[in-house]
């Protein structure tokens, strides 16, 4: 019984150490690139998180709103090609996006599947029929143990693009 509890504790410490090591890497990474046809936008890191030595929680710094995010004007239904650098694609990552549906209702929090580490470095995002994308966020994730012995996948770096309706 004690041996099993010790193994669980050792496994939790190992998972936490690996998560913190992945978190404490240099956050100065190359930009995520978003393209719509011939137009490309390089997205700088919007927010990054790290765990101070010995900490069990992440401390994040960066833009809590979209004031500094790049903007791109798109027509409804325009697909986007998203490319991530290897230091993002080598971790699990996901795209979270918002849009106005064909009836003009704002839809938030849709997302792609989580892409496993080292398996995908680009994705073509196609909005629902007649939808106007309004925001896109690429999130680099890590596996982190929870207090109840589970595992969660918090975002440790994010890249944001605000999408405006095309005029003219």
- Tokens (6 digits) for 126: 């196609």
pLDDT computed for residue 153 by the predictor: 84
Residues 30-76: pLDDT tens digits? 689 999 999 999 999 888 877 655 556 666 666 666 888 999 999 99
pTM of the model: 0.76
Tell me the pLDDT tens digit for each residue of 98-127. 999 999 999 988 999 999 999 999 999 999
Alpha-carbon 165 to chain mean position: 23
Q: Can you give the pLDDT at residue 9? A: 37
- State the CB neighbour count (10 A cutoff) for residue 99: 22
Listed residue (167, 165, 163) closest to 72, CA to CA: 163
* Listed residue (94, 89, 82, 85) closest to 40, CA to CA: 82
Rounded CA gap, 135 and 34, in Å? 12
Q: Which residue has the tokens 């944001």?
A: 160
The number of angstroms, rounded, from the C-alpha of 7 to the middle of its chain's C-alpha atoms is 32
């Amino acid at each position: 019984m004690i041996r099993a509890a010790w193994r669980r504790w050792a496994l939790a410490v190992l998972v936490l150490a690996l998560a913190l090591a992945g978190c404490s890497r240099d956050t100065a990474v190359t930009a995520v690139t978003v393209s719509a046809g011939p137009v490309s936008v390089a997205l700088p890191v919007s927010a990054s998180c790290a765990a101070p030595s010995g900490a069990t929680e992440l401390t994040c710094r960066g833009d809590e709103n979209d004031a500094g995010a790049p903007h791109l004007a798109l027509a409804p239904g325009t697909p986007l090609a998203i490319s991530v650098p290897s230091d993002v694609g080598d971790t699990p990552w996901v795209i979270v996006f918002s849009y106005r549906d064909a009836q003009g209702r704002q839809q938030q929090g849709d997302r792609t599947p989580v892409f496993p580490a080292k398996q995908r470095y680009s994705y073509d995002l196609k909005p629902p029929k007649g939808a106007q994308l309004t925001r896109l966020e690429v999130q680099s994730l890590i596996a982190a143990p929870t207090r109840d012995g589970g595992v969660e996948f918090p975002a440790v770096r994010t890249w944001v693009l605000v999408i405006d309706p095309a005029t003219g």
